[in-house]
Amino acid sequence: MGQLETFQQFLVTQGAQIPVWSFFFNLIAAGVLSLVLSYIYVKYGRSLSNRRVFARNFVIITMTTMFIIVVVKSSLALSLGLVGALSIVRFRAAIKEPEELAYLFLAISIGLGMGADQQLITLTAFIAILAVIGITSAFNHKETNQNLYLTISSNNPERVSLQKIVEILKRYSTGCSLKRFDETRQILEASFLVDFTGFEQLNKSKAELKELDETLKVTFLDNKGVS
C-alpha cells in the first residue's frame, strides 16, 4: 500500500507550470509556419482535390497538436489520461492521395516541435523540407508535359471500362497518366493527367468518350489553376 500511495501522490503533485508568454510565442510561431505550409501546399501541391479547402485545416491541426503536447508534457497524470481519452476518438478523414497525408504529418510535426519547445530544430527542419519541396517541384515541372487534369465519372460501369477510356485518351493525347481510379457497382470515376496539343484533339477525345455513355461526365481542369 505504501508504494501505491506514493505513486498516487506522485501523479497528483507531479506537474510543471507552463510559462504563458513562452506558450503564446510558440503558438503564434506554429500558426505562422502552418500558414506558410498552407501556401506551399496550394502552390506546389499536385493533389486532384481542392487544395485550398484542404490547406485550411493545417493551422487548426498544427496549433491543436502543439496545445495538446504542451499540456501533456506538464503532467504525467494528464498524459496517462490522454491515452484513455484518445482511445474513444477515431480519425476518419478521407485521405485519397499520399501527398495529403504527407502534408498532414508535416503540420502535426510542426505542432509537436513547437509544443516541445524545440523552436530552432523545428524551424530548421521546416526550411529544409520546404527547400526539398521546391527543388522537387522544379524538376517535376521540367520533366512533365501534362497540362490538364481530367476527371471522368459514369453511372454505368458496365458500359464504360478503364481500358476503353485509356485507349481513347492515348489516341488523341501526347501524354496520359492515371492518378486515381474508383469503381463500384453504381459509379466509375477516374482521374488523369493528360496533355493535348490543341483544342481539336481535346474535343475529339471528349466526343468519343461521350459515345461510350451519354451520361458520362467529363471535367477538364488546368493543373496550374486560375489566379
Task: Reduce the DSSP state of residue 195 to 3 states and report it.
Answer: strand
Q: Are residues 127 and 218 in the same domain?
A: no
The predicted pLDDT at position 28 comes to: 93
All cell numbers assigned to 123:
524551424
Q: Are residues 117 and 192 in the same domain?
A: no
All cell numbers assigned to 205:
477525345
pTM: 0.57
Q: Are residues 134 and 165 in the same domain?
A: no
Please list the ranges in the chain whose pLDDT falls under 50. 7, 10, 13, 143-146, 224-227
The predicted pLDDT at position 159 comes to: 79
The predicted pLDDT at position 146 comes to: 44
SS3 for 78-111 is HHHHHHHHHCCCCCCCCCCCHHHHHHHHHHHHHH
Tally of domains within the chain: 2
Q: Are residues 45 and 26 in the same domain?
A: yes
The predicted pLDDT at position 76 comes to: 58
Q: Are residues 50 and 131 in the same domain?
A: yes
Q: Are residues 73 and 164 in the same domain?
A: no
Q: CB neighbours of 41 closer than 8 A, spacing ≥ 6?
A: 51, 54, 55, 58, 103
Q: Are residues 103 and 160 in the same domain?
A: no
Q: Are residues 129 and 207 in the same domain?
A: no
**Is 205 part of a structural domain of the chain?**
yes
The predicted pLDDT at position 31 comes to: 92
Q: DSSP letter string over 144-183? A: ----EEEEEEES-TTT--HHHHHHHHHHH-SEEEEEEEEE
**Domain termination site, one of 143, 158, 174:** 143
The predicted pLDDT at position 144 comes to: 46
All cell numbers assigned to 197:
496539343
Containing domain of residue 156, as a range?
A: 148-222
Question: Reduced to 3 DSSP states, what percent helix, strand and coil does the chain have, rounded to the nearest 5?
Answer: 60, 15, 25
Q: Are residues 116 and 176 in the same domain?
A: no
**Is 227 part of a structural domain of the chain?**
no
The torsion angles phi and psi of 27, rounded to 5 degrees, stand at: -65, -45
Asked if 212 contacts 164 with a C-beta cutoff of 8 angstroms, the reply is: yes
The predicted pLDDT at position 225 comes to: 42
Longest dimension (CA), the chain: 85
